[in-house]
Chains A and B, each alone.
Chain A
Amino acid sequence: MNDNPLIALAGYFALLSLFAVGGANAAIPEMHRIAVEVMHWMSDRQFADSFAISQVSPGPNIIIVTLIGYHVAGLAGAAVATAAMCGPTCVLAFLVARTWDRFKEARWRIAIQAGLVPVSLGLIAASAFVLARSADHNIYAAAITAITAIVGFATRINPLWIFAVGGLLGLSGWV
């Protein structure tokens, strides 16, 4: 990739947007790989912090790319990263929306959708793994993750309450 961080942001995120089946949650490992391992834009902790901020912010979770972009290259970086992550897929959505009625019952369309579900499940599981490795650096953080997983699976509680409790436990020095 080019040395200019804006070009690198645009290239990586535009490419990623087309492979992110399952949305923002499925794209986390690749974002982590690029931003932390390959480009060294940010530390593991800064990536985890960005994820936390994107979770408590209103709006779509994909907004984590705005945070990464800002971290790399300020306001221009935030704009470029966001546009690159949303642009290609928006154009695709617009084009497909006009022809959707023609192929929504097609066998290949149903096969593609059914085939991509397990891929996105594996990717989201990988996201959880990558984040757990960043976040659960002691027994208390791991306990919060484990308890939240059970509560999230068994109930339909508003995630903001869970984030609030997690933040308070962090503040109190348990994490």
Chain B
Amino acid sequence: MTAEEFNEAFALSQFLPGPNVVNFSVVFGSRFGGAPGAAVALAGLMGPPLIIVTILAVLYARFGDLEVLGRILAGITAAATGLLIAVVAKMATPLFGKRWDWAPLVAIAAFIGVAIMQWPLPLVFAVLAPVSVACAWMTR
């Protein structure tokens, strides 16, 4: 795979819904070996983590009530939330930095719909995505 092919596969997996890394493994694997290649790449990506996380799930089911474990996980959640805010800030910088057009408004509407109003994601998506894509179409 050349660097350009890699970028193409990456762009495609970003374009598709669902877990991006999982999509990437399917696109990457299918380029090399069709459907079997995609299956092997997916199994390679997901297999070992699934075994590990299943063990963690069993341990959590058994020890999840321990206060000390709860405190550790609460600390990790607080830190992981901060990292997520950093991701949002990094994504928002180019979007909000330019002149104030439709894109920031769509982002704010999606946030309010899902976080504040707690509307179902498919509903918010069905309303906002067509509007946003239409705006992107016209502004180009």
Please indicate whether A and B come from the same complex rather than being unrelated chains.
yes
Chain A positions within 8 Å of B, measured between CB atoms, are 15-21, 23-25, 27, 29-30, 33, 37, 45-46, 48-63, 66-67, 70-71, 75, 78, 82, 85-86, 88-90, 92-94, 96-98, 100, 104, 107-119, 121-132, 134-136, 141-142, 144-153, 159, 162-163, 165-171, 173-175
Where chain B touches its partner, the secondary structure class is helix
| A20:B17 contact, CB within 8 angstroms | yes
Rounded to whole angstroms, the CA-CA distance of A122 and B121 in the bound complex is 11
A75, B133: Cβ atoms closer than 8 Å:
no
Does A117 contact B95, Cβ atoms closer than 8 Å? yes
B19 and A23: CB pair below 8 A? yes
**Interface residue from A21, A89, A113, A118 paired with B104 (Cβ < 8 Å):** A118
- What B residues does A121 contact at CB under 8 A? 88, 91-92, 95, 107, 110
- Interface of B with A (CB < 8 Å)? 8-9, 11-23, 26-27, 30-31, 35, 38, 42, 45-46, 48-50, 52-54, 56-58, 60-61, 64, 68, 70-92, 95, 102-104, 106-111, 113-115, 118, 120-122, 125, 128-129, 132-137, 140
A63 to B89, CA, bound (A): 24
Give me 18 A-to-B residue pairs in the complex whose CB atoms sit less than 8 angstroms apart, sorted by A's number: A24-B19, A55-B80, A58-B48, A89-B18, A94-B38, A97-B12, A112-B133, A114-B133, A115-B137, A121-B91, A121-B107, A121-B110, A122-B110, A126-B114, A142-B78, A145-B82, A163-B79, A168-B72
Are A86 and B19 in contact, with the CB atoms below 8 A? yes
A65 closest partner in B (C-beta): B19
Tell me how many residue pairs across A and B have CB atoms closer than 8 Å: 348
Interface contact A166-B110, CB-CB below 8 Å? no
Given the complex of chains A and B, what is the CA–CA distance between A170 and B70 in angstroms?
A: 8
For B74, what are the chain A residues with a Cβ–Cβ distance below 8 Å? 48, 52, 135, 141, 170, 175
